Every structure is written in C-alpha cells, then in structure tokens.
C-alpha cells in the first residue's frame, strides 16, 4: 500500500497499526472488528486506492462522540445568544442527559477546568 506524503500529513493522527487497506480489513474482518470492540485498538483507518475512505470505531466510542457533538451544539447555541463561556448551559445539558458525575461539579469548577485545559493548549 503506497500513501503519498500529502495523505500522511492528513492522516498524521493515525498510528501505523491503525491504518489498514480495505482488502486487509475484508480478509481479517472478524479479528479487526474484535480488536476495535475490545478496545485493543482505538480505531482503524480504512484505505482504498491510497485514499482514506472510512474509520471503524467501537459503538460506545461513537455514542460518546454523538453526545459530545450534542453538547457542543448546545453550548454554541448558548454562545450565539450572547452567553458564551457560561457553564450553566453545560450543566443543564449534563443534568438532562444523565451524566451525573460531571453534573455534580459547580459552574465555577467547570469554568476552572476549562481554563486549565485552554492554558495547556498554549
């Protein structure tokens, strides 16, 4: 399998063992699926004709991603209403979606954690 340097830059966040050709995935589908479901691999990037075509992830990971997207959408709706950075909208979302451990944090604690994460990016 040949991958151009441009494609490698795009796929830089995939470990080499996470990249498989579609024909290898077909030949080893049961083992590949099991390794993802059992979290032995976080994901499998599937390459066809030297192009990234799909990424296989476990269902529980996909569901967490879906919830995260919903949370981001809810907070960006709040931001468009002029209350960007307001953690109460996030707390309300977490309470409504039964994410109890996080909803036990105060608004101030959440704001502090967000600040710490942002500072770590710099």
Q: Within this chain, do residues 73 and 40 fall inside the same structural domain, yes or no?
A: no
Q: Within this chain, do residues 34 and 82 fall inside the same structural domain, yes or no?
A: no
CATH number at residue 13: 3.40.1620
User: Roughly what angle, to the nearest 10 degrees, separates helices 87-96 and 59-80?
Assistant: 140
What is the span of the domain harbouring residue 14?
A: 5-57
Last residue of a domain, one of 24, 41, 57: 57
Q: Within this chain, do residues 38 and 13 fall inside the same structural domain, yes or no?
A: yes
Q: Which of 46, 43, 27 is nearest to 35 (CA)?
A: 43
Overall pTM surpassing 0.85 (yes/no): no
> In the predicted model, is pLDDT for residue 120 greater than 60?
yes
Q: What is the mean pLDDT of residues 96-110?
A: 60
| pLDDT, tens only, 70-94 | 777 776 665 555 555 566 666 666 6
Q: Within this chain, do residues 16 and 44 fall inside the same structural domain, yes or no?
A: yes
| pLDDT, tens only, 5-17 | 555 444 447 888 8
Q: Within this chain, do residues 103 and 115 fall inside the same structural domain, yes or no?
A: yes
> In the predicted model, is pLDDT for residue 66 greater than 60?
yes
Reported for 56-61, long-range contacts at CB under 8 A and 24+ positions apart, including other chains, are 56/25, 56/32
């Amino acid at each position: 399998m040949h991958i151009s340097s441009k494609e490698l830059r795009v796929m830089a966040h995939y470990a080499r063992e996470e990249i498989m050709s579609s024909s290898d995935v077909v030949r080893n589908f049961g083992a590949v699926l099991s390794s993802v479901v059992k979290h032995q691999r976080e994901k499998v990037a599937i390459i066809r004709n030297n192009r990234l075509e799909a990424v296989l992830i476990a269902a529980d990971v996909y569901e967490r991603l879906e919830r995260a997207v919903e949370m981001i959408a809810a907070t960006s709706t709040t931001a468009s209403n002029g209350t960007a950075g307001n953690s109460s909208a996030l707390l309300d979302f977490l309470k409504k979606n039964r994410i109890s451990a996080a909803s036990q944090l105060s608004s101030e604690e959440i704001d502090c954690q967000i600040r710490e994460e942002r500072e770590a990016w710099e």
